């Protein structure tokens, strides 16, 4: 995988969920897009829904709305845009995946239909990006963003 093409609108959407306040819960959603040769091309990210579980240190995607957005994207793109991975927040400046994150990502990769999956953790000051493929989870790059 050469690069991840991440549109500004999607980046701005997930940034708004940073846990910069003590009362802000973890948030997350799906990453939707397509594989274009050596690129992961992100088309959309879903936002937390009313039936998702959110606490300060945990996010569990339960809302059916995520699935419906993915189905709609699949249908309106002539079966090109599909599930590529997950994003969620952590209440730390420079996020790193927990053992729970890594176990969940390995399950997504093992059970998934895409040859690649993208996982993003949004921290207060930086992101953690990880692209995984069957039986392998590898760090791709770490990027700090400025306010």
Range of the domain at 123: 3-144
Place of tokens 């500004």: 8
Both tokens of 119, joined, read 């996982």
pLDDT at 134: 67
For residue 13, what are the contacts with CB-CB under 8 A and spacing of at least 6? Answer: 45, 47
Distance between CA 45 and CA 84 in Å, rounded? 10
pLDDT in tens, 52-101: 999 999 999 999 999 999 999 999 999 999 999 999 999 999 999 998 99
The arithmetic mean of pLDDT across residues 18-22, rounded, is 95
Q: Whole-model pTM? A: 0.88
Place of tokens 């590898």: 138
Distance between CA 63 and CA 100 in Å, rounded? 20
Q: Return the active site residues.
A: 26
For residue 93, what are the contacts with CB-CB under 8 A and spacing of at least 6? Answer: 123, 124, 125, 126
> How many Cα atoms are found within 13 Å in the side-chain-facing hemisphere of 37?
4
CATH code at position 42:
3.40.140.10
**Number of independent structural domains in the chain:** 1
């Amino acid at each position: 995988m050469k690069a991840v093409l991440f549109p500004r609108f999607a980046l701005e959407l997930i940034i708004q969920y940073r846990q910069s306040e003590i009362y802000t819960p973890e948030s997350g959603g799906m990453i939707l897009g397509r594989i274009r040769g050596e690129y992961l091309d992100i088309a959309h990210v879903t936002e937390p829904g009313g039936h998702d579980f959110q606490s300060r240190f945990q996010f569990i995607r339960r809302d059916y709305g995520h699935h419906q957005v993915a189905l709609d994207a699949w249908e309106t793109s002539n079966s090109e845009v599909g599930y590529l991975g997950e994003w969620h927040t952590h209440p730390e400046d420079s996020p790193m995946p927990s053992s729970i994150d890594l176990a969940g990502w390995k399950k997504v990769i093992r059970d998934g239909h895409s040859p690649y999956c993208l996982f993003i953790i949004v921290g207060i000051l930086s992101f953690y990006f990880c692209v995984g493929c069957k039986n392998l989870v590898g760090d791709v790059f770490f990027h700090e963003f400025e306010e």
